[in-house]
Amino acid sequence: MAKVVILSGAGISAESGISTFRDSDGLWEEYDIKDICTVGCLETNREQTIEFYDRRRLDLSEKEPNKAHKVLANLKNKYKNEIAIITQNIDNLFEKAGIPHEDVIHLHGYLTNAECESCNDVFDIGYKKIEESFNGKCPTCHSQKVRPYVVMFGEMAPLYENLYEEITNCELLVIIGTSGNVIPVDTFTSYVDRSILNNLEKSDAIFDELYSKVIYKKATEAIDEISSDIEMVLKE
Ligand code: NAD
Ligand code: ZN
């Protein structure tokens, strides 16, 4: 188990030009979130749902990791098993910053993968549209029921089990760029000795007095301080 758990959300990727959920602009505003992010939308609104994720996947090809991803990638690669990188994000910016994909726990899926609804195989499709990769078929069983590899609201998120296991066994929990609306992060503070919260501003879903340290700043401006706090704990 890792000594330090870093749990991130949309805010860590905001400075890389990926809209957070609530300050949505551009791409997000053209769609009603509930029609493309909720359990069942692949049955009731399949074409638009797949198109939405196809566009976001393509959009990722131009996005670059920011300083926060890079500093955390250096730490993760230096301390390996001592640090767990867990994210709600489906982008690949930690990977672009140099962390091997298998070392990042993506709680809500991963945009550059697709999943077969027939055999449950998960496979890499890069930045392609689903219908353009493997002719829209699963490379394993050739089924045409291929979906974005993302967890919709109301669907099971199997990796939450890893999140709980890591958090209940760590010493320092670092939360970066999440409003706490999807994952109730406050509940985790009682399991850890120390916790750091970094968001741009106060969130209605977070009671910040529960945290040992609170930093309301951009992630890229907070990350050096966070990084030295992490190294201090790892050297104890
Ligand atoms: P959220 O949009 O609810 O909250 C974003 C949080 O980030 C806010 O608390 C805000 O203060 C903070 N923030 C904004 N800019 C920041 C910055 N520059 N530095 C530090 N903090 C900053 O996001 P959420 O809590 O992750 O939940 C939204 C859901 O939407 C999640 O399930 C997530 O999977 C999904 N989502 C993912 C992406 C992505 O993959 N990059 C983008 C948008 C939404
Ligand atoms: Zn299949």
Residues 6+ away with beta carbon under 8 Å from 54: 129, 130
Residue nearest to atom 11 of ligand 1 (CA): 200
The pairing of strands 109-116 and 146-150 is antiparallel
- pLDDT of res. 31: 77
- pLDDT of res. 19: 77
Atom of ligand 1 minimally distant from the CA of 178? 25
- The CA distance from 226 to 211, in Å, is 14
Concerning whether 142 is annotated as a catalytic residue, the answer is no
Most ligand 1 atoms within 8 A of CB, residue of 27, 38, 149, 178 to mutate: 178
- The CA distance from 196 to 188, in Å, is 11
DSSP conformation class of 19: P
* CATH superfamily, with its number, for domain 19-62+109-150: SIR2/SIRT2 'Small Domain' (3.30.1600.10)
- Which ligand sits closest to the CA of 118? 2
Query: Could you check whether 1-17+65-108+157-236 and 19-62+109-150 share the same CATH topology?
Result: no
Q: Is residue 128 classed exposed, middle or buried when 0-12, 13-18 and 19+ CB atoms within 10 A define those classes? A: middle
Blockwise average pLDDT, block size 10, the chain, 236 residues: 97 91 61 87 95 93 98 97 98 98 98 98 98 97 98 95 97 97 96 97 97 98 98 95
Task: Determine the residue type at 121.
Answer: D
Q: Measured at the alpha carbon of residue 200, what is the angle toward residues 80 and 77, in degrees to the nearest 5?
A: 10
- Which ligand sits closest to the CA of 201? 1
Structural domain 1-17+65-108+157-236, CATH architecture: 3-Layer(aba) Sandwich (3.40)
Residue nearest to atom 3 of ligand 1 (CA): 179
Question: Is 22 close to ligand 1, i.e. is its CB under 6 Å away?
Answer: yes
- pLDDT of res. 136: 95
Domain edges within the chain: 1-17+65-108+157-236, 19-62+109-150
pTM of the shown model: 0.95
